[in-house]
Amino acid sequence: MTQLLAAREGRITPEMVEVARQEGVDPEFIRAGVAAGTIVIPKNRLRKGVRTCAIGRGLRTKVNALIGTSSDRDDPEMEARKIEVAISAGADAIMDLSTGGDIDGMRRVSLERSTVPVGSVPIYQAGIEAIEKRGGIVAMTPEDMFEAIEKQAAAGIDFMAIHCALNFEVVERLQKTGRVTDIVSRGGAFLTGWMLHNRQENPLYEDFDRVLDILRKYDVTLSLGDAIRPGCIADSLDGSQIQGLLVAGELVARARERGVQVMVEGPGHVPIHHVETTMLLQKQLCHQAPYFVLGTLAIDVAPGYDHITAAIGGALAGASGADFICYVTPAEHLGLPTEEDVRVGVMAARIAAHAADIAKGVKGAWEWDLKMARARASLDREAVASLAIDPALVRCYLEKEKEELCSACGDACALRLVAEYFQQ
Amino acid sequence: MTQLLAAREGRITPEMVEVARQEGVDPEFIRAGVAAGTIVIPKNRLRKGVRTCAIGRGLRTKVNALIGTSSDRDDPEMEARKIEVAISAGADAIMDLSTGGDIDGMRRVSLERSTVPVGSVPIYQAGIEAIEKRGGIVAMTPEDMFEAIEKQAAAGIDFMAIHCALNFEVVERLQKTGRVTDIVSRGGAFLTGWMLHNRQENPLYEDFDRVLDILRKYDVTLSLGDAIRPGCIADSLDGSQIQGLLVAGELVARARERGVQVMVEGPGHVPIHHVETTMLLQKQLCHQAPYFVLGTLAIDVAPGYDHITAAIGGALAGASGADFICYVTPAEHLGLPTEEDVRVGVMAARIAAHAADIAKGVKGAWEWDLKMARARASLDREAVASLAIDPALVRCYLEKEKEELCSACGDACALRLVAEYFQQ
C-alpha cells in the first residue's frame, strides 16, 4: 500500500507522523494533504534508514541536489563526496543522474551514502545502455525503458523523473510553434529523438499504466519530467510548454486514481514577470500537485553565476507556490559541478526556499529571522553564527576579526552608536 | 544651472545627449524625465572625464558599488584597486564611504580613479572629525555638517547621501513604535545620537535650504539618505519607515522646487512579499523620484551569502520600480569586502538589475538574452563567452574543456541530440 492509498483510507502512517513532527504540524494535516495529492512523501517501500521528508502545500519548501557520473567524468568516489557535501549543506533530497561508467554501482553508492530521499531518471540508463547494446538511443526498446524503471525501483529509489507527459501532441505543438532552444531536457531529447526516428508514440505515455503499476508496487513517487521546459526566457510560456502541462494534468489525475504519489517538474528559464503565471497555471492544470522547479533561472546571460539567477527565480517561484526547488550550481551550462559548487548550489537554493517560506508564511520561517535580528541587535556573535544558514562560514569570518561581530564600520558602528545614544 | 533647471527650460544638455545615446532613447525623453524629476543625471558641474549615466524611470536599472577606508583598515591603495575592480565588473557608479585615515586624500583618489559618477556621505567625515577635534560625534556642530557637504561638493562629488529626511517626527515615531534593530544606518545613527543628546532638531532637515543651495551650486544630485531603513525583515514597513517616507516626500518637492536633482534611498531588509508595496509607496509618497535601494535583502539569516539574498530582493525591487541598486557583497554584516567580494557583489547586483530590466521591458534587455539563447542553441562557445555577463569567467571554464561548450552531459547532450534527431 502506498502512502497515498493509506491516506485515502484515513490511515496515518509512521512516515506521516515523522514529517509532521519535522514541520511542526498535525499528522492529520499531512494525511489530508497526501490523500488530496497536494503533498507527497517520497520514500520507496524497500528503503530503510532515510530521513523522510514531505513536499507540498503548507510545508517548508524543499531543496534537491543533483549528482552523478558522466562519460567525461566517471568518478563514483567524488560523486559520493558530493552527496555528503550536499546533505551537510542542508539538501532535503538528492538525485543521481549518472550517465557514465557503472550506473548500477553508482546508484548503490548513492542509496548507501544518502540519508535523505534519492531520486533518479531511469531513461538516462535505458538510453545510455541502448547506445552500448544496440548502437544508439533510437534503438532503445520499450522494454528497455520499463526494465530500467523496474530495476531502479527495486533498488530502492524514492522518486523518479519520468517523461510520461511527452507525446506527439506536445512534439507537434513544438514543431508548429517553433522555439529558440527547442528541447534542453536530456530525457526529453532522448525520447523525442526516439519518437521521431521510430515514428512511434512515447511508450511511457502510451503505456502509462505499466509505469504506474511499477511505481505503486514500491511506492516510488512519480515526478513527471518536464521534457519540453523552456531552455531560454524567450521560450517561456509558449504553446509547447502549455501543451505539456495539459498532458501532465491528465496524467496527474490518472496516477492519483491508481494510488501513485505524483509531483510535476517545471522550468527552467523563466523571466521574473512570468513566474507567477507559470506557477498558477501548473497548479490549476495539474490539480494542485506539488511543483518541482529546476531553478527557475531569471536570466540567460549569466553562466558562471546561475546559482544566483536561480536563487532569484526560485525565491519567486516558491513564493508563488512551488514546493520543491532543484538547485543550480555555478557550473550550470558550463560543466559538471565540483564539491564546492555543490555546497554553494545547495546554499543558494536554501536561501531561495527560505525567502519563499517567509512569503508563504510557513511555520517557523519568520521566527528564524527574528532570532537572527535579535542576535544582531545585541551584537551576540556566537548567536549570529549558530543561527546562520552556514554557521561554519560565519565562524570562519569571525575568527579573522578580534572582538567585534563585524569590522566594516570600525568605531562608527551604527548598532553600537545607537546602543550608546538612542537607548538613553 | 543644474540639469534639472536646464531641462525645465526645455534645454537638452550634452549630458542628456550622452545618456540618451547610452540608453538608445530620444534625448527629449531624457530631458522630459529630468524636468519631471523621474530621472537624475548625477554629475558635479566641476567634474570632467566621467562616463555620465542617468538613473530613473524608463531607463536601465543601474548598479552602485561601495568602497572606503575604515579605522580598522585604512589602505587607500586597496580601495583604489576596488574602484577599478568594480568599474571593470560593470558598476555604473561608486560611493566612497571612507571613515578612516586621510578621508580627503582617499576622496581625491576616488575621483581620480573613477571613470563613473562618485557618491559620498558627508556626515561620515563630519562625525569622524568631530570625534578627533571635539571628542565625540555628539559634539559635532551644524557648521561641521554643512562644511563637510560644501568641501565634498567643491571636490567634485557627483551625488551625496544626506540624511535630511530624519527629524524628531521620525525619531519619536520610532520610539513609539519600537523596533527589533532600531537604526542600522550609520549616518542615521550619528544624527539620531546627536539629536537626542543635544535635544536639537537635525540641522540637515531644519536648514534644508542651505543643503540645497550648496548642492545646486555644483549640481550635486541629492540622495535622501534612508536613516531609518529596516535592519531586519521584522522591521519592514513599520511606522517609522513610513514616517520617514512622508518626510522624504516633503523634501523631494522642496529640492525640485529649488532646482536640485533628487533621488531617495531605500531599504534594506525587506521580505519578498513586502517588496512591491515598499516600491509603490516610495514612488507615490516621493512624487515618482528615482529610488535607490540598498539590496533589498530578502532574508536575514544568510550572512556570507548576502550578495545572493540581495540579488533576490534587488531583482524584485527593480521589477517593481527601483531604479538604482546598491550592491551587497558576501562580506556584508561580517566585515569589509575584499577585491574579489567587490567583483562578485557587482556581478550579483548586475544580475538582479538585468532580471528587473527584462520584467520592466527596458530597451535591449530581452534582446541580450535572445542572442545568448541563439548562441547556446548553435553551440557557439565564443558567442556564449562574449555575450556572458562575465566573459572572462566563462572563458576560464571553457579553457578547461576541450572542444565542447559544456561538459556536463558528455555524449548525452540534449542540444546535440535534438540537433541530430529533432530537426530531421
A68 domain residue, yes or no: yes
* Nearby residues of A92 by Cβ (< 8 Å), 6 or more positions away: A53, A62, A63, A64, A116, A117
Cβ distance A355 to B312 less than 8 Å, yes or no, reads yes
Residue of A183, A197, A400 lying closest to B414 (CB–CB) = A183
- Three-class HEC string of B208-241: HHHHHHHHHHHCCEEEECCCCCCCCHHHCCCHHH
Same domain, yes or no: A279 and A148 = yes
Closest CA to A63 of A310, A393, A331, A384: A310
Mean pLDDT, range A149-178, rounded to an integer: 97
* Nearby residues of A387 by Cβ (< 8 Å), 6 or more positions away: A368, A371, A372, A375, B301
Q: Are strands A62-67 and A324-326 parallel, antiparallel or unpaired?
A: parallel
Cβ distance B370 to A234 less than 8 Å, yes or no, reads yes
Q: Which amino acid is it at B380?
A: D
Same domain, yes or no: A137 and A56 = yes
Q: What is the full per-residue pLDDT of chain B (424 aa) written as tens digits?
A: 899 999 999 999 999 999 999 999 999 999 999 999 999 999 999 999 899 999 999 999 999 999 999 988 899 999 999 999 999 999 999 999 999 999 999 999 999 999 999 999 999 999 999 999 998 999 999 999 999 999 999 999 999 999 999 999 999 999 999 999 999 999 999 999 999 999 999 999 999 999 999 999 999 999 999 999 999 999 999 999 999 999 999 999 999 999 999 999 999 999 999 999 999 999 999 999 999 999 999 999 999 999 999 999 999 999 999 999 999 999 999 988 999 999 999 999 999 999 999 999 999 999 999 999 999 999 899 999 999 999 999 999 888 766 566 666 666 676 777 777 665 4
pLDDT at A424 over 60: no
B13 domain residue, yes or no: no
Cβ distance A99 to B409 less than 8 Å, yes or no, reads yes
Q: What is the pLDDT of residue B241?
A: 97
Residue of A70, A181, A358 lying closest to B373 (CB–CB) = A181
d(CA A349, CA A95): 15
Cβ distance B138 to A421 less than 8 Å, yes or no, reads yes
A378 domain residue, yes or no: yes
Q: Which B residues, 125 through 164, put their C-beta within 8 Å of a C-beta on chain A?
A: 127-128, 131, 137-138
Chain B residues near residue A190 by CB distance under 8 angstroms: 412, 417
Chain B nearest-CA distance from A190, in A, is: 7
Query: Which of A300, A332, A346, A403 should we substitute to test contact with B (largest number of B Cβ atoms within 10 Å)?
Result: A300
Closest CA to B320 of B365, B272, B363: B272
Angle of helix A306-319 relative to helix A339-360, nearest 10 degrees? 20
Q: Which B residues, 4 through 63, put their C-beta within 8 Å of a C-beta on chain A?
A: none
Residue of A189, A352, A372 lying closest to B417 (CB–CB) = A189
Same domain, yes or no: B416 and B270 = no
Query: Which of B369, B382, B400 should we substitute to test contact with A (largest number of A Cβ atoms within 10 Å)?
Result: B369
Cβ distance A407 to B305 less than 8 Å, yes or no, reads no
Q: Closest-CA residue in chain A for B412?
A: A186
Query: Last residue of some domain: B360, B378, B412?
Result: B360
The residues pairing with A292 across neighbouring beta strands, listed in sequence order, are: A265, A324
Query: Last residue of some domain: A360, A384, A412?
Result: A360
B7 domain residue, yes or no: no
Same domain, yes or no: A288 and A381 = no
The ipTM of this complex is: 0.95
Q: What is the largest CA-CA distance in chain B?
A: 81
Q: What is the pLDDT of residue A417?
A: 72
Chain B residues near residue A336 by CB distance under 8 angstroms: 407-408
Cβ distance B273 to A70 less than 8 Å, yes or no, reads no
Phi, psi values for residue B325, rounded to 5°: -115, 125
Residue of A197, A234, A359 lying closest to B272 (CB–CB) = A359
Same domain, yes or no: A109 and A62 = yes
Chain A nearest-CA distance from B14, in A, is: 32
Chain A nearest-CA distance from B45, in A, is: 31
Cα-Cα-Cα-Cα torsion A257, A262, A267, A268, nearest 10 degrees, comes to -150
What grid cell was written down for B142? 551644524
Chain B nearest-CA distance from A157, in A, is: 21
Chain B nearest-CA distance from A47, in A, is: 28
In which band, very low, low, confident or very high, does the pLDDT at A398 lie, cut at 50, 70 and 90? confident
Query: Which of A66, A346, A367, A369 should we substitute to test contact with B (largest number of B Cβ atoms within 10 Å)?
Result: A369
Cis amide linkage into residue B364, ω under 30° from 0:
no
A16 domain residue, yes or no: no
Whether chain B has a CB inside 8 Å of the CB on A372: the answer is yes
The answer to whether residues B270 and B317 touch, using CB atoms and an 8 Å cutoff, is yes
Strand, helix or coil for residue B52? coil
Q: What is the pLDDT of residue B19?
A: 98
Same domain, yes or no: B258 and B387 = no
Mean pLDDT, range A287-310, rounded to an integer: 98
Same domain, yes or no: A201 and A313 = yes
Q: What is the pLDDT of residue B374?
A: 97
Question: Can you give the residue range of the structural domain that contains A403?
Answer: 365-423
The residues pairing with B161 across neighbouring beta strands, listed in sequence order, are: B223
Q: Which A residues, 400 through 419, put their C-beta within 8 Å of a C-beta on chain B?
A: 400-401, 406-415, 417-418
Whether chain A has a CB inside 8 Å of the CB on B322: the answer is no
CATH number at residue A126: 3.20.20.540
Chain A residues near residue B232 by CB distance under 8 angstroms: 369-370, 372-373, 376-377
In which band, very low, low, confident or very high, does the pLDDT at A225 lie, cut at 50, 70 and 90? very high
pLDDT at A187 over 70: yes
Is the Cα dihedral A52, A57, A63, A64 positive or negative?
A: positive
Same domain, yes or no: A356 and A405 = no
Same domain, yes or no: A333 and A401 = no
Q: What is the pLDDT of residue A421?
A: 65
Whether chain B has a CB inside 8 Å of the CB on A304: the answer is yes
d(CA B235, CA B337): 26
Chain A nearest-CA distance from B295, in A, is: 13
A32 domain residue, yes or no: no
User: b/e string for B172-193 if b means 16 or more Cβ within 10 A?
Assistant: ebbeeeebbbbbbbbbbbbbbb
Task: Count chain A–chain B contacts defined by CB atoms under 8 A.
Answer: 355
Q: Which B residues, 90 through 129, put their C-beta within 8 Å of a C-beta on chain A?
A: 99-100, 124, 127-128
A280 domain residue, yes or no: yes
Cβ distance A358 to B312 less than 8 Å, yes or no, reads no
Q: What is the pLDDT of residue B390?
A: 98
Same domain, yes or no: A221 and A342 = yes
Count: domains in chain B: 2
Query: Which of B418, B420, B423, B424 should we substitute to test contact with A (largest number of A Cβ atoms within 10 Å)?
Result: B418
Cis amide linkage into residue B192, ω under 30° from 0:
no
Whole-number average pLDDT of chain A: 95
Measure the CA angle with vertex A65, ends A60 and A71; round to 5°: 165
Chain A residues near residue B197 by CB distance under 8 angstroms: 421, 424
Q: What is the pLDDT of residue A404?
A: 62
- How far CA A212 is from CA of A188, A192, A206, A260, B119, in Å, comes to 19, 21, 12, 7, 63
Cβ distance A355 to B298 less than 8 Å, yes or no, reads yes
Phi, psi values for residue A406, rounded to 5°: -150, 140
Cis amide linkage into residue B221, ω under 30° from 0:
no
Burial label for A195, CB within 10 Å (0-12, 13-18, 19+), is: buried
Whether chain B has a CB inside 8 Å of the CB on A273: the answer is yes
Q: Which amino acid is it at B88?
A: S
B403 domain residue, yes or no: yes
Q: Which B residues, 173 through 232, put their C-beta within 8 Å of a C-beta on chain A?
A: 180-186, 188-190, 192-194, 196-197, 231-232
Chain A nearest-CA distance from B46, in A, is: 30
Whether chain A has a CB inside 8 Å of the CB on B387: the answer is yes
pTM value > 0.90: yes
SS3 content of chain B, % helix, strand, coil (to 5): 55, 10, 35
Q: Say how far residue B311 (Cα) sits from the centre of its chain.
A: 13
Same domain, yes or no: B380 and B243 = no
Q: Closest-CA residue in chain B for A361?
A: B273
Cβ distance B335 to A298 less than 8 Å, yes or no, reads no
Same domain, yes or no: A329 and A385 = no
Query: Last residue of some domain: B360, B376, B403?
Result: B360
Q: What is the pLDDT of residue B408?
A: 64
Cβ distance A355 to B309 less than 8 Å, yes or no, reads yes
**Total residue count of chain B as it appears in this document:** 424
